[in-house]
Structure 1
């Protein structure tokens, strides 16, 4: 019984991998949604602080914020309302992008 269930689940996962994506579908690009990181690029190179986060949110128009520490794994889900700010071991901002 357990073997039958495992085989069925393996077959379903194989079929899911065969799903097609419409040819006209394009991945979202930063700045096309409610968040536009271009205005916040002047903050790159500054120390990562709560004040910087607030300023970056205001400049970008983002509704959500995410710090990305060095050597961190993050989810790959795209959110057009989220601002991502990466920083290095010295807490200096290295990148600002939407998504």
Structure 2
């Protein structure tokens, strides 16, 4: 009977010696909208021809479905992509 009391006491003592688990490292914050793409998201779904009368920041790329583009990453560069139907499909920074 004395052994049945001793086992839970020893288990509690063993648990009290455990160290707390450190918190997981925080995930990095998502990158900010460095090129201002959020302000141009209203263009999605509109015909590509609306771009002809607009002004964009220097370096903005208008990319068609068969256009060759460089693969260098520049988060401050605005990219406007349109599909084969001539509608704007994506506005993003890269």
TM-score w.r.t. length of structure 2: 0.55
**SS, match of residue 96 in structure 1:** strand
1:63 aligns with 2:84: no
What's the C-alpha RMSD, in Å, of the aligned pairs?
2.4
Please say if 1:88 is aligned against 2:83: yes
Gaps of 5+ in 1: 1-25
Deviation at 1:30, TM superposition (A): 5.9
What is the CA-CA distance between 1:91 and the residue it aligns to?
1.4
Question: In structure 2, how many angstroms separate the alpha carbons of the residues matched to 1:68 and 1:30?
Answer: 22
**Structure with more of its chain in helix, by fraction:** 1
Structure 1 CA distance for aligned equivalents of residues 69 and 83 of structure 2: 15
Distance 1:45 1:74, change over 3 A: same
Which 4+ stretches in 1 moved above 4 angstroms? Answer: none
Distance 1:30 1:95, change over 3 A: farther
Q: Quick check: 1:45–1:93 contact (8 Å CA) kept in 2?
A: yes
Could you say which residue in structure 2 is the equivalent of 1:47? 47
Distance (whole Å) between structure 2 residues aligned to residue 29 and residue 75 of structure 1 = 21
- Equivalents in 2 of 1:77, 1:30: separation in Å? 18
Unaligned runs of 5+ in 2: 1-27
Measure, in 1, the Cα distance between the counterparts of 2:77 and 2:62: 11
